[in-house]
Every structure is written in structure tokens, then in C-alpha cells.
């Protein structure tokens, strides 16, 4: 890569990735290649912004993820933030800090994943920054989205008497990571060893943000609080409880367990609840909704092929998160999940 200057590298990674017609349809008037991007805004909507960074050996490992998976997931994590607000993702900026010795082929694969995820959710990549680093590969995505004025779904909107729900099947990404770390083979060969556990690895390497679910929840007018599951079900439930000043009582017996997760738990002798409560990076949604309208909300998501399950209730008698265990006993649920700074006090 030494023969490429910064601008040549940018062109090599971004040219012809998204057509002028696609960018125009996204409202982009000036994209990659100028000092800043220019895009039209939509009247009657509010801007939603998010930013996430992925650092090698902190957020991903090459032994468990291909370069294209890393790019896909970096984009997906930001799109998931849009989904949790009920927003439509629109534009993305990509900042890359790359070790000088990293081959261009790896970087192109990284951008393959970035643009694959962006294209799937009709996100226009409109610029960013590219630098060298003496440290680890670092990838930052900044995203803008839009939501109807005054209607963004917030963590602080849970109210006593509402039901707590979850989309999809939490815990699969964390189990997939553990599975991959235990396989003595390159990540592109894992299916040869455990094809029946494919959904776990797919959930870890190629998580799919729940944008459609977020939009349907917003359109229903029945959704209270909403959060994406990036740091584990327990951690996200605590965020809702603290932001809303109320309690969430979860029923561990009602949390859906995917068949592949159940099979892997049986193989390893572990409790799937550990992955579901304290894993992360599922990019499913946990939220609250008025009980009287939950049946119709659930039906709307079901028609769209989105699994959703009631897993608890919102209480006004305490602040925090508690759970009913397998025997129906009410126990405190630890406030833990993935935390970058857990060792720093």
C-alpha cells in the first residue's frame, strides 16, 4: 500500500461503489471527493445522528471475522442506532485509521462489507477520513438519519403498566463469538465443522439491524421506550429503567431461545440466559408498549416476518431491573453487559 497516497487510497476504496443515480435518490448533491458532503433535508423531519468506533482486538478479532464482516458490522452498528430511534438511516461518513503494512486487498474487502451493508439499507456513503496509525486498525462510522418531527422513540418513554418486548432472538451473537473462538480453523472454514450452528456465527459476523421493526413500532403509535441490544439484554433493560425512572420485571421463561442457541448450550453445558442477558451485539430491539395495543403491534411485526415476544412488564414500585427465574422467583438482575471501561474505576 506504500505506493498509494491518501487520495489515491480513497479513490481505490470508494470509486464506483454507489451510482450517481442512487446518491441522487438519497438526496446527496455532493458526495465523496470534496471538502464536505452536501445533501438535501426532508421538510417535517428531524435529523438523527450516531457514531460508533470499532478497534481491532477490542471489538473484533481476525480469527473470528473476515475483513468484509468487519466492515459490514461497523456499518450495521450505526444503522441499529437509527432503528432504535424509529428513524430511517440516510447518510454515512467512514473514518479509517490503518496500519501502514496492511495490504490494499484487505482494505478493499473491508469496504466491500461497508458498502454491502450500506446498500442493503439504502445508506449513502458520502465521505469521511483516512489516516495511518502505528496502532491497531480502527474504523469509525458516523451516520445521519431522519425521523418524523417530535416522534423519535426514546429510552425514557417506559411507563408503569406497559409490557416489555423483544424482537428476534437475543444472545446469538455472543454465543457465535464463543463458538468461533473455540474453533481451531480460519473463520472462512468454520461451516465445515459446525454447519448446524450457522445462525450463531451469522448473528455475530453479519448482524442485521431492525430498521423495519423500528419504523413499524413508530407507525403503530403504541411503542413507549425503545433500545437496541448492543451490550446485552440486561444492560439495555437497565438503560430503559434508569432513563424512565421505573422498573422492568423480566420473565426469563418467556425470552425466546433460538434452536441453534439451545443446541450450542446443550453442547457446552451452559445456560443460554448468560448469553442472552449479558452478551451483546445482537442489534435486536427491546422496548415497551401499551398492553391494550400490543396484540395488534405484534400482528403487524409478524406480518413483516419479524419475531416479537412479550417478556415482562413495567413497574412503578421500583427503579431498576428484576427477573423471574426458572422457578418463578423474583430476583435482581445484575446491571452488567459489555463495558469498555469496566476495569477503570
Distance CA 148, CA 99 (A): 41
Q: Which range (43-47, 186-190, 198-202, 225-229) has the least confidence? A: 186-190
Which has more confidence, 262 or 21? 262
150: left (phi over 0), alpha (psi -120 to 50) or beta: left
Contact 340, 262 (CB under 8 A): no
Among 141, 71, 76, 60, which residue's Cα sits nearest to residue 106?
71
User: Which three cell numbers, joined as nine digits, stand for 262?
Assistant: 439451545
For 140-187, what is each residue's pLDDT tens digit? 999 999 999 999 999 999 999 999 999 999 999 999 999 888 875 555
Q: Which range (195-199, 216-220, 341-345) has the least confidence? A: 341-345
The contacts of residue 77 (CB under 8 Å, 6+ apart) are: 52, 54, 141, 230, 281, 283
Ordered strands of the 124-133 beta sheet: 45-55, 138-148, 88-99, 124-133
CATH H-level superfamily of 155-332: PurM-like C-terminal domain (3.90.650.10)
Which has more confidence, 35 or 30? 30
At 344, is the pLDDT very low, low, confident or very high (cuts 50, 70, 90)? Answer: very low
Contact 310, 163 (CB under 8 A): yes
In the chain, the percentage of residues whose pLDDT exceeds 70 is 89
Distance CA 156, CA 150 (A): 14
At 118, is the pLDDT very low, low, confident or very high (cuts 50, 70, 90)? Answer: very high
Residue with cell 442472552: 276
For 284-306, what is each residue's pLDDT tens digit? 999 999 999 999 999 999 999 99
The contacts of residue 265 (CB under 8 Å, 6+ apart) are: 175, 271, 272, 275
From residue 98, alpha-carbon distances to 10, 56, 102, 110, 252 in Å are 12, 10, 7, 11, 43
Among 112, 151, 141, 119, which residue's Cα sits nearest to residue 25?
119
Map out the domains of the chain as residue ranges: 6-148, 155-332
Predicted pLDDT at 343 = 40
Task: State the pTM of this model.
Answer: 0.88
Q: Per CATH, which fold does 6-148 belong to?
A: 60s Ribosomal Protein L30; Chain: A; (3.30.1330)
Amino acid at each position: 500500500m506504500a505506493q498509494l497516497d491518501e487520495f489515491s487510497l480513497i479513490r481505490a476504496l470508494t470509486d464506483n461503489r454507489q451510482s450517481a443515480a442512487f446518491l441522487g435518490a438519497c438526496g446527496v448533491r455532493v458526495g465523496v471527493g470534496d471538502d464536505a458532503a452536501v445533501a438535501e433535508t426532508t421538510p417535517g423531519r428531524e435529523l438523527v445522528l450516531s457514531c460508533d468506533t470499532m478497534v481491532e482486538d477490542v471489538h473484533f478479532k481476525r480469527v473470528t471475522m473476515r475483513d468484509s464482516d468487519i466492515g459490514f458490522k461497523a456499518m450495521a452498528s450505526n444503522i441499529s442506532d437509527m432503528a432504535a430511534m424509529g428513524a430511517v438511516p440516510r447518510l454515512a461518513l467512514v473514518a479509517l485509521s490503518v496500519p501502514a503494512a496492511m495490504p490494499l486487498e484487505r482494505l478493499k474487502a473491508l469496504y466491500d462489507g461497508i458498502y454491502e451493508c450500506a446498500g442493503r439499507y439504502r445508506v449513502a456513503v458520502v465521505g469521511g477520513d483516512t489516516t495511518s496509525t502505528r496502532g491497531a486498525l480502527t474504523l469509525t462510522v458516523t451516520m445521519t438519519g431522519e425521523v418524523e418531527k417530535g416522534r423519535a422513540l426514546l429510552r425514557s418513554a417506559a411507563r408503569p403498566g406497559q409490557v416489555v418486548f423483544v424482537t428476534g432472538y437475543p444472545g446469538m451473537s455472543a454465543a457465535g463469538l464463543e463458538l468461533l473462538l473455540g474453533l481451531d480453523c480460519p473463520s472462512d472454514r468454520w461451516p465445515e465443522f459446525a454447519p448446524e450452528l450457522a445462525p450463531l456465527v451469522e448473528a455475530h459476523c453479519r448482524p442485521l439491524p431492525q430498521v423495519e421493526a423500528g419504523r413499524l413500532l413508530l407507525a403503530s403509535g403504541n411503542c413507549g421506550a425503545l433500545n437496541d441490544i448492543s451490550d446485552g439484554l440486561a444492560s439495555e433493560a437497565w438503560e430503559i429503567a434508569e432513563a424512565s425512572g421505573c422498573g422492568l420485571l423480566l420473565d426469563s421463561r418467556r425470552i425466546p431461545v433460538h434452536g441453534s442457541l439451545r443446541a450450542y448450550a446443550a453442547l457446552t453445558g451452559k445456560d443460554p440466559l448468560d448469553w442472552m442477558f449479558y452478551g451483546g451485539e445482537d442489534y435486536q430491539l427491546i422496548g415497551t408498549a401499551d398492553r391494550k395495543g400490543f396484540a395488534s403491534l405484534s400482528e403487524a411485526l409478524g406480518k413483516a416476518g419479524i419475531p416479537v415476544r412479550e417478556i415482562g412488564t413495567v413497574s412503578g414500585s421500583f427503579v431498576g431491573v428484576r427477573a423471574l427465574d426458572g422457578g418463578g422467583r423474583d430476583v435482581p438482575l445484575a446491571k452488567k453487559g459489555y463495558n469498555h471501561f469496566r476495569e477503570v474505576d
